[in-house]
């Protein structure tokens, strides 16, 4: 598998991963430095765009895939990662005929779901005795 086909496979995996319910984003490793490098190469005219955030490397009998994802809180990270793992394994097998060794890291959890009503009840409010006591401690007038 050539470097070009590794890039193509990575982009196919990235597209499939973003379609998995619960996956909010694919995060780039070393994003700040990589972003500067990508911008520089585009300005110099030697780069088409940012490389895939999915790392793919073919070994003798398997394809190694590594990615970091942002997940949606409402679905649950474990369930999302299981589904994502299955999807990546399927894509790799279909496109290469090889099994995949897959490493997925959850790098961020998006807080899109409403807060748990019980957590809202437990949070101290401005009118709670605890808040008033803290306010008096700061301003002992």
What separation in angstroms does the CA of 70 have from each of 67, 110, 130?
10, 7, 35
Per-residue model confidence as pLDDT tens for the chain (141 residues): 444 488 899 999 999 999 999 999 888 765 555 556 665 655 666 655 556 789 999 888 999 999 999 999 888 899 999 999 999 999 999 999 999 999 999 988 887 543 443 443 333 344 444 545 545 555 555
Query: Largest alpha-carbon pair distance within the chain?
Result: 75
pTM of the model: 0.65
- Residue 85: phi, psi to the nearest 5? -60, -45
Q: Give burial (CB, 10 Å; 0-12/13-18/19+) of 89.
A: middle
């Amino acid at each position: 598998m050539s470097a070009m086909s590794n890039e193509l496979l990575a982009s196919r995996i990235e597209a499939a991963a973003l379609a998995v319910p619960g996956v909010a984003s694919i995060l780039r490793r070393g994003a700040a430095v990589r972003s500067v490098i990508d911008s520089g190469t585009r300005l110099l005219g030697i780069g088409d765009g940012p490389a895939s955030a999915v790392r793919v490397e073919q070994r003798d009998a398997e394809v190694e895939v590594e990615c970091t994802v942002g997940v949606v809180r409402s679905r649950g990270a474990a369930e999302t990662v299981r589904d994502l793992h299955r999807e990546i394994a399927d894509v790799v097998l279909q496109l290469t005929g090889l099994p995949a060794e897959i490493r997925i890291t959850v790098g961020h959890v998006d807080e899109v779901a409403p807060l748990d009503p019980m957590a809202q009840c437990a949070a101290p409010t401005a009118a709670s005795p605890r808040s008033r006591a803290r306010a008096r401690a700061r301003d002992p007038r």
